[in-house]
Structure 1
């Protein structure tokens, strides 16, 4: 059940009442208000938990929050002052927005977006001013993609077209694009129609030496392939991935960028994550392999297996490209199974690595009896069993481990006894009791392992008619 929400004014009134009626000091009044509302099941994630103050410029004003004081200064200076005079105020507002979502949300509720967009439009001719204004827009839209309107979209596209040579401006603009495309399908579609994809791939090519810009642009491309807007029944995630690959040479651009930043873990991690989102068709998986992407990914896993975040993204990329049966064999032939098991054993306490490791091995085993033998010989099943023991509360680890065991024995029933001797049956049974969502995959694994399992027939199509 969704928690109740209150307005900032209601919260502030409660704090004020605690101070006036019960003579509490500000910190005590604030703490009491938070505890009071949380005990009533109120969601305070959008509430600025601070005592309103008065501006040092005007002690006669009603107390208000700092972010709103800064917004008022920007509103007053919007038409009366030049951009240079307002730079300090813009930077102050940015800092306050970066304090947390509650500050950004409150500012947006009080009309911040049109004020900031007006500064953005006034700044387009000057590099330093446009960078300052974009930084404000990026901060304000973080977590609030609904703010972006048609005028804002066109502004971002124009900046990306007109400032291609300036990596700092490009990075700030792309950051704003990324914020506005998370959980917002319409923004994604509108920006793609407006020509955002070649601007993003072009930025990676033109500024291949800028680690931060490459990382930002790669993330923005990845966000274009999301299907995360619950308000939309059918998105364009698959179509956008195809456009990036087929029309904008995305695979080669990303792989070349990775080769340029082999010493930068965070950039490599982001590039791997984006590649995995683009491996949506059999031929794309093969293209990644042919372009040297698989060799690069395997090298990363071998050289950086001690870095859990990079390992997680590399495993995700391997899992994605191994959707192609020929690539499955290439991964196994390159020693991929051994590397995956080493990584899992190294980071056995990390549930994300264990989940992706099991998923990777599961994909490699699917329809491939020879690969199943290699996985068993290299301790893949044992690593999955250990992962299940270590992460009993993780649904995803349990599901992926069950899927791996099922795929191992589906065409190689002679492997069942060895897996059962590792204690798999008890672990799967426990997963079924603990996680309802494990029901289908867990029972399928038990069945294929040759264990006793009750399979319910939900509907047979008999016993009665739909009509009287």
Structure 2
């Protein structure tokens, strides 16, 4: 690239000196000459000043980014983003030649001007803008950028806003760039991203946007792969994010449209029914999915062994409750899922009664102290049609 730049600059100078062309005419003539020879000019600076870009605003801003801090750093980053928005400008190529990606990654890794949330956010916005071109994506891989982005997203002290921008930068790096995708996966970005996705899926609008961009399918693939590999932390995080998304009515139908979604949930319950932290998330996902949604209840009934797996998970959690207090949360989610299915879906109610779900619920109700779990078991019994659903007086 440097050699092409030097040759191009020499051609422009020759047009001016040897052929008495005006500067702009000399530039246009050199561009036409190189393009006629099928020379790729996409990564060089096409200006009369050529490679001497020290006075260009992009070069000046980058110099500031390398040394400044606080408001000065943030302002320089903001100016770079604006310069990169101009498709006719030379900012991208100037920043490429001056190693902007590597410089920004170094600043983000070390702190410096990006030591606080505002600075880190500003630096990540520049990276996201730069990753719109393949050359900058490649520069990121050469600068071992994926582990740095992963560390920013996984860092406990990073704010949710910084984590989200880190994911956006990673998404830009991976877009139409297979090597970028692989490098991010190797760096552990998927595991770091899942808790952030869960936090971001906090309202109806965000859930809808996430679903439109394929989040359900991505998370379900991570969930299934982690389930098969026994990676419980990834599996739990993926399921928690899916659970959050399915709290939105707009996502429920899209979730059910995913391939083999109910068999995957049933399989996870069967395999991990002695792991309350996992069964809580799977049962919680079923609870959200079946709330005001008879179609989801029918789908669960239609999967052979699924409702039986729910009851077995409840029974296993009850047995684990003494050793693991967190099992109570899994039990509560299971009771709520049963209630949601029974109250709006006669087929589910009939199947649950045939499986003696009421016996499991009576046991939970009678062995629990007054509170949320006992209330959930009683409500499920009521919606199954049990007249003696209220807790017995003690």
Give TM-score, length-normalised by structure 2: 0.58
Answering whether residue 343 of structure 2 is matched by residue 421 of structure 1, we say: no
SS at match of 1:165: helix
Say whether the 8 Å CA contact 1:406–1:448 is kept in structure 2.
Answer: yes
Q: Check conservation: 1:402, 1:445, Cα contact below 8 A.
A: yes
Match for 1:170 among 108, 114, 132?
108
Q: CA deviation at 1:271?
A: 0.8
Whether contact under 8 Å (1:358, 1:401) holds in the other structure is yes
What is the DSSP-based 3-state SS (H/G/I as helix, E as strand, rest coil) of the residue aligned with 2:273? coil
Please point out which of 341, 351, 362 is paired with 1:408: 341
Q: Does 1:434 align with 2:368?
A: yes
What are the within-5 Å matches in structure 2 for residues 186-265 of structure 1?
Answer: 194-200=118-124, 210-220=145-155, 224-225=159-160, 252-253=168-169, 255=171, 260-261=181-182, 263-264=185-186
Q: Aligned residue for 1:310?
A: 234
Match of 2:330 among 363, 385, 397: 397
Q: How far apart are 1:351 and its partner, in Å?
A: 1.8
Q: Is the 8 A contact 2:124 2:169 kept in 1?
A: no
Deviations 1:73-130 (A, max 9, x none): xxxxxxxxxxxxxxxxxxxxxxxxxxxxxxxxxxxxxxxxxxxxxxxxxxxx9x9xx9
Q: CA deviation at 1:344?
A: 2.4
Indicate the residue corresponding to 2:7 in structure 1. Answer: none
Partner of 2:4: none
**Equivalent residue number for residue 385 of structure 1:** 311
Which residue matches 2:210? 288
Q: How does 1:27-426 map to 2 (within 5 A)?
A: 165=103, 167=105, 170-171=108-109, 173=111, 194-200=118-124, 210-220=145-155, 224-225=159-160, 252-253=168-169, 255=171, 260-261=181-182, 263-264=185-186, 266-306=188-228, 307-334=231-258, 335-378=260-303, 379-392=305-318, 393=321, 394-426=327-359
Report the alpha carbon displacement of residue 196 of structure 1 after superposing the two structures with TM.
4.2
Larger-gyration structure (1/2): 2
Structure of greater relative contact order (alpha carbons < 8 Å, 6+ residues apart): 2
Q: Mark the CA change 1:441 to 1:171 in structure 2 (over 3 Å): closer, same or farther.
A: farther
Supply the distance in 2 between the matched residues of 1:287 and 1:221 (Cα, whole angstroms). Answer: 26
Farther-moved stretch of structure 1 (326-335 vs 289-298): 289-298
- For 1:349, what is the secondary structure of its paired residue? coil
Aligned pair count reads: 271
Deviation for aligned residue 1:281: 2.0
Which structure dedicates a bigger proportion of its chain to helix?
2
Give the Cα separation in 2 of the matches to 1:222 and 1:330: 34
Aligned mates of 1:201, 1:345 — CA distance in 2: 44
Match of 1:450 among 385, 388, 391: 385
Q: Sort the Cα spacing of 1:437 and 1:264 in 2 relative to 1 into closer, same or farther, 3 A.
A: farther
Change (3 A) 1:439 1:198: farther
Q: Is the 8 A contact 1:255 1:293 kept in 2?
A: no
Structure 1 residue runs without a partner (length 5+): 1-124, 131-152, 178-190, 226-239, 457-468
Give the Å deviation of 1:219. Answer: 3.0
Query: What's the secondary structure of 1:454's corresponding residue?
Result: coil
CA contact (8 A) 1:200 1:221 kept: no
How much is the aligned-residue C-alpha RMSD, in angstroms?
Answer: 3.9
